Structure 1
């Protein structure tokens, strides 16, 4: 993957973002590792009952979330999502991190094909590699 870094380079802007968003991130950084458990979200139907829809996620919080927030400033997509390349074990894929206000972090969706390839299930504690994609061609 070719990495471009169009992140902030103005020292005053970087200082402001560090103060406002937290973290001590160099504008050259754009890759992190995070460890956590896979969890399952289940949707609810109009009647309030659980639906068959479900998604597996990994919560990205703490220092890594703060660093991503700073490094991706000005490069977010719909709903504040951030384009990334993620890797677990030998499997890599392109996806988006979705912001979660409650945890001041992000949610990383773990696709079924990734879970199958890496033999993962809800509750498994995994290490994910995250690399920002500042520009994504469609």
Structure 2
């Protein structure tokens, strides 16, 4: 499943700060339809994503009926991304076979 969406980088200030892009509701609904074929446990969904020139693998975190795309420093750093920045995400949900 391939998706393209735009969103704003948010910061979660827990014990360790972390950055995410919330997946919009429409795309989250599409992901929920294939979640059982994609998740390898705890509701996380493996994806291949691209923001700008940076391509990366990660897993979506389920949150309040939607999903959050985590952004490691290796993804944010080269593009100078921080909380509040708008980004376009190209993402492929990696289905388990």
TM-score (norm 1): 0.66
Higher-strand-fraction structure:
2
| Structure number with bigger Rg | 1
Query: Deviation above 2 Å: which 4+ runs of structure 1?
Result: 71-75
- What's the C-alpha RMSD, in Å, of the aligned pairs? 1.5
Q: 1:132 aligned to 2:93?
A: yes
Unpaired segments ≥5 residues, structure 1: 1-29, 44-50
Mapping for residues 13-28 of structure 1, pairs under 5 Å: none
C-alpha displacement of 1:77: 2.0
The one of the two structures with greater contact order (alpha-carbon pairs below 8 A, sep at least 6) is: 2
Tell me the matched-pair count.
Answer: 97
TM-score (norm 2): 0.91
- CA–CA distance in 2 between the matches of 1:117 and 1:135? 30
* Alpha-carbon contact 1:40-1:54 (below 8 Å) kept: yes
Unpaired segments ≥5 residues, structure 2: none
